[in-house]
Chain A
């Protein structure tokens, strides 16, 4: 077993000051979530469709973009560039992703109920269940691996002497899991377009 903390390669790079959770964005998150609750409580068709389409479009777009465009770029960046990018990018993702995921799923479930897609006798019921499975897979990957890695890398970067190996390992996890969720989003696109065709 390796011993002694001096074995860890500390990173001597200038890091910008950052908040792990950007407080300025919290009111916006609250507004979005209240909007979703109001749309559900009023059973507003337009409100639900708006929340589902806007949230779903953003979720899919961001996952595809991060998984297939930004992720591979991060993977090839130098450590200082990766650190600078992460300190600006990841705090925003911590607010954006859970908000749009909640918005999309809560509204989508209500739309499925309104359209009777939840009814087991509905011919499109199987597509809805398939979408539940895809969301389940994405939830497990995102909540058990991606988000913890995202938060942990930010905590590491806030340390006086961040451990390069920790950042490397967590960023690798972030890049791989973002790629997997990107693939799952392609499946989501197929399911959703089949559902409304």
Chain B
């Protein structure tokens, strides 16, 4: 007899994703608060690394879930990725338009890339966790 999706105990992917989002938001706010001048980069880089590490942890935790509805996860994730790639692209465009260049732009781009990956994972996980695995 299988456990109903609602009753399954799953790793705290949403909470870890939210923590990663806090790090990303912190980094972007820190850099944006200084634009068009250059902010000291070390704090932003630390936040970027924290955000990346949390997302990596999420990927590992997700990969270990047995009987997860992966087809639903990827179906939702794909569309989410498309939507958030557009939004991240617009934000990137605004920063490039504002003459953000060099390491500052690189850190900002990497943060936007993490943001673009994180949100679809959170949406796809929340949908797939309540889905019975039919595949």
Residues of A within 8 A of B (CB): 1-5, 7-8, 21, 33, 36-37, 40-41, 98, 102, 105-106, 109-110, 113, 118-120, 125, 128-129, 132-133, 136-137, 139-140, 143-145, 147-149, 151-152, 155-156, 163, 165-166, 169-170
Contacts and interface: CB of A to CB of B under 8 A. Distances in A.
A129 B25 CA distance: 12
B9 A1 contact: yes
Q: Is the interface of B mostly helix, strand, loop or mixed?
A: helix
B7 A151 contact: no
Interface residues of B, number: 46
Q: Is the interface of A mostly helix, strand, loop or mixed?
A: helix
Interface stretch (B59-67, B104-112, B119-127): B119-127
Contacts of A147: 119, 123
B56 interface: no
A8 B29 contact: no
B7 A2 contact: yes
Contacts of B25: 136-137, 139-140
B6 A166 contact: yes
A140 B22 contact: yes
A163 B6 contact: yes
A137 B18 CA distance: 10
A41 B97 contact: yes
